[in-house]
């Protein structure tokens, strides 16, 4: 029997063995930590293109029912925006791409999994995730981490053959036994954008918004007149060099900043807006976006973009680093609580002088 928790008209369903499943997921993810150029990098979203200084500006016209947490009143927060690749270090390859946002100077009751004055938001350039349940998430992590460990560490001559064996086994198990989940994961990592500044980003997973509402987050660029064409998806490389995204950032941000709109899709119906099934798009028609804030990224010259790389290695982002009013919901987020905490702890310890 699963434990059910009502939130925003939907339900979190927590299986009785969740703690042991999440512990296994954490252990699997440790395999993906690897050193690159002397630095232990994140197991996933290891390549970043900058950690950009920004301002997060809360709107002054929000209706009362949306005034919760950091959105309770008009305000401005110092912010950092990290842009990243999900898997590959070559920007010409199709991939998932992340936007992580860290706000500083936040006040309110904190979840206790990070700095008490911070609020993090994590998003990717695909509207949905690829697992429907915690068990699916466990299965995917069991096999995909074997593939990822081989891709990161294949140059190690001592462990090459066993890692190759586990990689092939992982791929075959996903392909033959979990084809639907594999196809969803491939769609998740299929974007070939022209620029990370022209992309839209989604949280894919739900969050509480106060005591009674559940939402999913979305970020979209405001200045599409400067952005050029919207990003292609899965149609081959849209950048022409291995480090094309950081080069694009330096070019577009050289003279002036960039702006995004931060908003939500509201949970309205448990059937069409499930809390636990992260494969369901809450706004497939693209008509239900509610803007809450504006992200204003500062101008950065080429030197500033390059210097921001070291800052990105020193920071850790987690959906659980934030206020109780924005508590993460669903199986993916409950697993991330421990995965992100332990992975960040090991990475930062390994990089400590």
**Domain presence at residue 313:** yes
Q: What is the pLDDT of residues 318-353, one digit of tens each?
A: 999 999 999 999 999 999 999 888 877 777 777 766
Residue 296: DSSP 8-state: E
**Domain presence at residue 144:** no
**Domain presence at residue 42:** yes
Residue 30 has φ and ψ, to the nearest 5°, of: -60, -25
What is the pTM assigned to this prediction? 0.87
What burial letters (b/e) apply to 141-179, b meaning 16+ CB within 10 Å?
bbbbbbbbbbebbeeeeeeeeebeebbeebbebbeeebe
Q: What is the pLDDT of residues 28-83, one digit of tens each?
A: 877 765 545 555 656 577 788 889 999 999 999 999 999 999 999 999 999 999 99
Q: How far apart (Å, rounded) are the C-alpha atoms in residues 40 and 37?
A: 8
**Domain presence at residue 270:** yes
**Domain presence at residue 179:** no
CATH number at residue 200: 2.40.180.10
Residue 160 has φ and ψ, to the nearest 5°, of: -60, -50
* HSE-up (13 A, CA, CB side) for residue 185: 19
**Domain presence at residue 88:** yes
Provide CB contacts within 8 A for 90, sequence distance 6+. 242
Q: Which two tokens stand for residue 116?
A: 């008490």
Number of domains in the chain: 1
Structural domain boundaries enclosing 26: 3-130+192-350
**Domain presence at residue 290:** yes
**Domain presence at residue 93:** yes
Please report, for residues 170, 229, 268, the alpha-carbon distance to residue 177 in angstroms, rounded to integers and kept in the order given. Answer: 10, 39, 34
């Amino acid at each position: 029997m699963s434990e059910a928790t009502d939130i925003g008209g939907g339900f979190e369903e927590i299986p009785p063995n969740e703690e042991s499943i999440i512990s296994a997921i954490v252990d699997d993810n440790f395999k993906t930590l690897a050193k690159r150029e002397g630095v232990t990098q994140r197991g996933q979203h290891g390549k970043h293109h900058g950690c950009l200084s920004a301002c997060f500006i809360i709107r002054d016209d929000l209706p009362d029912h949306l005034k919760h947490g950091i959105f309770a009143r008009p305000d401005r927060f110092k912010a950092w925006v990290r842009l990243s690749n999900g898997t590959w270090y070559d920007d010409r390859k199709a991939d998932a791409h992340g936007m992580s946002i860290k706000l500083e100077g936040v006040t309110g009751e904190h979840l206790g999994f990070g700095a008490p004055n911070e609020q993090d938001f994590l998003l990717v350039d695909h509207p949905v995730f690829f697992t429907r349940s915690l068990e699916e998430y466990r299965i995917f992590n069991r096999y995909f981490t074997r593939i990822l460990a081989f891709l990161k560490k294949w140059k190690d001559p001592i462990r090459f053959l066993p890692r190759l064996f586990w990689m092939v086994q992982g791929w075959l198990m996903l392909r033959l036994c979990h084809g639907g989940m594999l196809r969803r994961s491939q769609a998740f990592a299929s974007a070939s954008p022209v620029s990370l500044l022209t992309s839209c980003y989604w949280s894919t997973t739900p969050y509480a918004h106060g005591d009674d509402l559940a939402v999913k987050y979305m970020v979209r660029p405001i200045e599409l007149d400067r952005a050029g064409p919207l990003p292609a998806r899965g149609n081959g490389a849209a950048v022409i060099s291995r480090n094309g995204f950081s080069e694009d950032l330096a070019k577009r941000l050289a003279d002036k900043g960039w702006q995004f709109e931060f908003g939500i899709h509201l949970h309205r119906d448990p059937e069409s807006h499930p809390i636990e099934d992260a494969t369901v798009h809450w706004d497939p028609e693209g008509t239900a976006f509610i803007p809450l804030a504006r992200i204003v990224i500062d101008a950065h010259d080429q030197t500033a973009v390059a210097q921001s790389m070291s800052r990105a290695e020193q920071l850790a982002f987690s959906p659980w680093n934030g206020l109780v009013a924005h508590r993460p919901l669903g199986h993916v987020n409950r697993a991330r609580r421990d995965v992100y905490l332990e992975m960040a702890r090991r990475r930062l310890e390994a990089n400590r002088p």
